Chain A
Amino acid sequence: MTYTEKTHAAFGGAPINTGDPRVLAWLIRRHGLEMTHISRGSHIGAIFSLAEIMATLYTGVLNVNPAEPRMPSRDRLVLSKGHAGAAVYAALAERGFFPVEELSSHYANGSRLSGHVSHKGVPGVEFSTGSLGHGLAVAAGMALGGLKDKADWRVYCILGDGECDEGSVWEAALQAHQYQLDNLIAVVDHNRMQSLDFCENTIALEPFTDKWAAFGWNVMQVDGHDVTALQAAFEKAKANRGTGKPTVIIAETTKGKGVSFMENDILWHYRTPQGEEYEAALKELEAQRP
Chain B
Amino acid sequence: MRDAFTRALMREAAKDPRLTLVTGDLGFGVLKPFWETYPEQFVNAGIAEQAMTGLAAGLAMTGRTVLTYSIGNFPTLRAIEQIRNDCAYHDANVKVVCVGGGFVYGSLGMSHHATEDMAILRALPGVTVFTPGDPHEVEAIVPVMLRTPGTCYLRLGRGGEPCLHPGPIADYDAPRALTLREGKDVALLSAGGILTQTVAAADLLAQKGVSAEVVSFPCIKPIDREKLAELATRFRHIVTVEEHSIVGGLGGAVCETLAEMGAGCRVHRIGMEDVYSCIVGTQQYLREEYRMDMNAICERTLAWLAE
Residues of A within 8 A of B (CB): 119, 127-131, 133-146, 148-149, 155, 167-168, 171-172, 174-175, 178-179
Contact = CB atoms under 8 A, between A and B. Distances in A.
Closest 6 CB pairs of A and B: A141-B58, A145-B62, A137-B54, A171-B51, A171-B48, A141-B55
Interface stretch (B7-15, B84-92, B146-154, B264-272): B84-92
Contacts of B62: 141-142, 145-146, 148-149
Contacts of A149: 62
Interface stretch (B38-46, B178-186, B276-284): B38-46
Interface residues of B, number: 26
**Interface of chain B: mostly helix, strand, loop or mixed:** helix
A175 B57 CA distance: 14
A134 B45 contact: no
Given A137-B55, A178-B46, 18 more contacts: A127-B61, A127-B86, A128-B85, A133-B50, A134-B54, A134-B85, A137-B82, A140-B55, A141-B57, A141-B61, A145-B61, A145-B63, A148-B62, A171-B48, A171-B50, A171-B51, A174-B51, A175-B45
A140 B46 contact: no
Contacts of B81: 131, 134
B51 A140 contact: yes
Contact of B51 (A127, A131, A142, A172): A172
B54 A141 contact: yes
B254 interface: no
20 contacts: A128-B89, A130-B85, A135-B54, A137-B50, A137-B52, A137-B53, A137-B54, A137-B55, A137-B58, A138-B54, A138-B86, A141-B54, A141-B60, A143-B58, A148-B62, A168-B48, A171-B48, A172-B55, A175-B48, A175-B55
A172 B46 contact: no
A159 to B, nearest CB: 13
B219 interface: no
B75 to A, nearest CB: 14
Nearest to A178: B46
B210 interface: no
A140 B46 CA distance: 14
A167 B81 CA distance: 14
A178 B48 CA distance: 13
Given A128-B85, A128-B89, A134-B85, A144 B59 contact: yes
Contacts of A146: 62
B228 interface: no
B110 to A, nearest CB: 22
B93 to A, nearest CB: 12
Contact of A145 (B58, B82, B90): B58
Given A130-B85, A148-B40, A168-B51, A138 B58 contact: yes
Contacts of A167: 50
Nearest to B48: A171
Nearest to B53: A137
A141 B55 CA distance: 4
B56 interface: yes
Interface in B57-102: 57-64, 81-82, 85-86, 89-90
Interface string B174-193: 00000000000000000000
B57 A138 contact: yes
Contacts of A136: 51, 54
Contacts of B45: 175
Nearest to B41: A148
A144 B82 contact: no
B88 to A, nearest CB: 11
Given A138-B58, A141-B56, A145-B59, A168 B50 contact: yes
Nearest to A166: B50
A141 B48 CA distance: 14
Given A131-B85, A141-B54, A145-B64, A174 B59 contact: no
Contacts of A142: 58-59, 61-62
Nearest to B89: A128
Nearest to B22: A141
A131 B59 CA distance: 20
B54 A144 contact: no
B91 to A, nearest CB: 10
A134 B86 contact: yes
Contacts of B43: 144, 179
B61 A175 contact: no
A175 B50 contact: no
Contacts of B51: 136-137, 140, 168, 171-172, 174-175
Nearest to B66: A141
A38 B63 CA distance: 39
Nearest to A146: B62
B183 to A, nearest CB: 47
